[in-house]
Amino acid sequence: MTTSIVCLIERLKMKIAIASGKGGTGKTTVATNLAKYLSENRKVVLVDLDVEEPNSGLFLNGSLMNQKEMFKKIPNWESENCTLCGKCQSVCNFNAIMKLGENIMVFPELCHSCYACSELCPTQSLPMIPMKMGMLTEYKVEQLGFVGSKLDIGQEQAVPLIAQTLDYVDEMYSDDYLKLYDAPPGTSCPVIEATKDADFIFLVTEPTPFGLHDMKLAVETMRELKKPMAVIINRYGIGDAEVEAYCKVEGIDIIANFPNQRYIAELYSQGKLIYPHVPEFKAELLKAADYCKHLVKEN
Amino acid sequence: MKEIVIISGKGGTGKTSLTASFAMLAGQTAVIADCDVDAADMHLLLKPERIFEEDFYSGVAAVIDQDKCIQCGKCQEICRFNAIDNSTGQYLVSNLNCEGCGYCGHVCPVGAIEMIEQNVGKCYISKTKADNKMVHAGLKIGADNSGKLVAKVKHEAKASAEKDGKEYIIVDGSPGIGCPVVSSLSGADFVVFVTEPTVSGIHDLERVYQLVKKFQIPSGCIINKADLNEKVSKDIEKFLADNEIIHLTNLPYDESFTTAMTKGQTIVEDKTSPITASIEQCWQDLKIILEK
């Protein structure tokens, strides 16, 4: 392949989200190892969007590039011109603002930042002000870019932080970066937010009844979002062959089978990347990496 | 009646396998609630037979009446969630993006926008193979409000336990630290953390503990796969001691959890496994702690 074609390929944008229905299947292991490996030869940024319990950063030792407090907007009552008409309370669908006697009370943790109360207030007595919801950190790990956000304890909504983290990445990293997202587990709003912008989904599962059950939910979710996807099996060799049978029937590619080994679990427990130490793991990682390259080419 | 909530912060630590084991050991004395509604797996081990089911409605989403719409675009202008799209020539709401705030309905000059209640899933009451009742749920794909469905499951479990005079409610909690887990924790008498000695296990335990502390709920901890990393195991034990979290037990790294799961069984159904004895002891200890 000539250099010019390589350059062309590298300029094609691609966002891959690494997701799973069930927690603890190895999403972070796949994301960190794949991102680090791919970054040896091309521009890659890994984004940890599991903002409730972010773990990717524990496996990557880099130098801190940026640290930024993240805010959501909430209404702040200014009593001076307020006529206590109660419009704010009546338009809020989340019970986040209430008229109590001569006061207007705001419950920030319930606020979805829709601006309705603020902009519909006849006396402009509810300007929106920033409230801290978490922290974004950005690292450089040799060639790899890494951005991750952490939700403050007591904040209940992950979605706004996920959305703002993605905005930050889009602003800071040009389209010639391959963007890998470490998505939160489950199938509800945080996962939707973390995957709806992705071009392709890798679903990480384990070959067990729990793994299969939750992977089916994840497959349905991604079909709802009309996302193309492929499956990566972690802890391959444990459990049964039902995940493979399901993928075959559904026509979903299985792109790598990471082996089940106690040594891998031990390396993980120490916060180490796996592929520099386990050749069988690296062989499977190469398959996943090739699949990424093939996706970028197709795109 | 005592409510025990089992949580882990991090996924894959063995939370559901242990909750299902406690459900087996508690038998008729308990009602079981699966509050991990995003990825509810406990039914795979407890084989519940449904005795009751009902649709669950929560939250609203905007719908635009195309006959009334005058294409002014005000709704799209004020929507902070990019939920209104007009690329097809019509103003249409994306259900996946709509937050249900209703702001658009307030600004529409012709009253073309209606907020429709959303069917977000189903709530079930079942009888398990352990001869106890189990309340569980299925969240619709991509549905919002899993926190409210969690609250519903807990409410039904409590009602059932009160009605039948049960001693315990055993709750499989949600992962993370967001709204579903906050709903799982409300009203709990005791929290059991299930963790593992990995850098992410201890990190997530510390975060979810901060949340439990805010609720001032007493707690205990099971360190699963304890022999995987002795150093981190010791770090966890120190963390437990420093924060007055009862160290309930250590369980070894053992693939028999997975073997049992593959057979659709809880680990405690294997009477020959040494782990069974440890979990039985842990359940006895928990009962004594709850008496206090």
A249 and A276 together in one domain: yes
The pLDDT, as a whole number, for residue A6 is 45
pLDDT of B76 > 80? The answer is yes
Which chain A residue shows the shortest CA-CA distance from B12? A24
In this structure, the number of other CB atoms found within 10 A of the CB of residue B60 comes to 19
Residues in A closer than 8 angstroms to B113, CB to CB, are none
Report the pLDDT value the prediction gives residue B156, as an integer from 0 to 100: 96
How many Cβ pairs closer than 8 A exist between chain A and B?
176
Domain boundary among A87, A104, A126: A126
CB-CB under 8 Å, B207 with A185: no
Q: Cβ B179–A157 below 8 Å, yes or no?
A: yes
Q: Is 80 exceeded by the pLDDT of residue B132?
A: yes
pLDDT score, position A7: 44
Nearest-Cα residue of chain B relative to residue A189: B144
Q: Measure the CA–CA gap between A7 and B155, rounded to whole angstroms.
A: 58
The answer to which of A133-147, B136-150, B252-266 has the lowest mean pLDDT is B136-150
CB contact under 8 A, B228 and A156: no
User: Best of A188, A219, A235, A274 to disrupt the B interface by mutation (most B CBs within 10 Å)?
Assistant: A188
Query: Is the Cβ pair B177, A53 closer than 8 Å?
Result: yes
Q: Say yes or no: A147 and A233 in one domain.
A: yes
Chain A contact for B81, CB < 8 A?
Answer: yes
Q: How many CB atoms lie within 10 A of CB B284?
A: 11
Domain for residue A3, yes or no? no
The enclosing domain of A223 has a CATH number of 3.40.50.300
In chain B, residues with a C-beta closer than 8 Å to the C-beta of A208 are 258, 261-262
Residue of B nearest to A191 (CA): B142
- Mutation target to probe the B interface, by most B beta carbons within 10 A, among A161, A235, A269 is A269
pLDDT reading at A12 higher than 70: no
* Listed residue (B76, B62, B61, B68) closest to B112, CA to CA: B68
Q: With 50 as the cut, is the pLDDT of residue A1 above it?
A: no
* B197 contacts A269? CB cut-off 8 A: yes
Q: Please give, rounded to a whole number of angstroms, the shortest distance from the CA of A54 to a CA of chain B.
A: 8
B179 vs B146, residue with greater confidence: B179
Q: Are residues A63 and A113 in the same domain?
A: no
A269, A143: one domain: yes
| Residue in the block written with tokens 């002000």 | A129
- Say if residue A156 is in the same domain as residue A120: no
Contact B148, B60 (CB under 8 A): no
Is residue A2's pLDDT more than 50? no
Q: Any idea how long chain A is?
A: 299
Predicted local distance difference test score (pLDDT) of residue B141: 79
* Closest residue of chain B to A264, computed from CA coordinates: B228
In A253-269, which positions are buried (b, 16+ CB within 10 angstroms) versus exposed (e)? ebbbbbbbbeebbbbbb
Enter the ipTM: 0.92
Q: What is the pLDDT of residue B96?
A: 82
Q: How many domains does chain A have?
A: 2
Name the residue with tokens 């307030």.
B106
Q: What residue ranges define each of the domains in chain B, with the CATH number in brackets?
A: 2-47+128-291 (3.40.50.300), 58-119 (3.30.70.20)
Which chain B residues contact residue A59 at CB under 8 A? 199
Which of A214, A224, A50, A170 lies closest to B96 in space, CA to CA?
Answer: A224
Q: How many CB atoms lie within 10 A of CB B282?
A: 20
Instruction: Give the model's pLDDT for residue B140.
Output: 84
Domain region containing A86? 77-126
pLDDT digits (tens, 9 = 90+) for A81-124: 999 999 999 999 999 999 999 999 999 988 999 999 999 999 99
Same domain flag for A84 and A59 = no
> Does some domain include residue A1?
no
| Domain co-membership, A121 together with A238 | no
Q: Which residues neighbour B24 within 8 Å (Cβ) at sequence distance 6 or greater?
A: B46, B130, B266, B268, B269
Residue A91: per-residue pLDDT: 97
A49 and A14, same structural domain? yes
Q: Is residue A2 part of a domain?
A: no
Residue A247 vs residues A207, A216, A241, B32: alpha-carbon distances, Å: 11, 10, 10, 32
- Are A208 and B258 a contacting pair, CB within 8 Å? yes
Using 50, 70 and 90 to split pLDDT, how confident is the model at B145?
A: low
CATH of the domain at A104: 3.30.70.20
Please state the rounded mean pLDDT for residues B252-272.
93
Cα distance between residue A207 and residue A211, in whole Å:
6
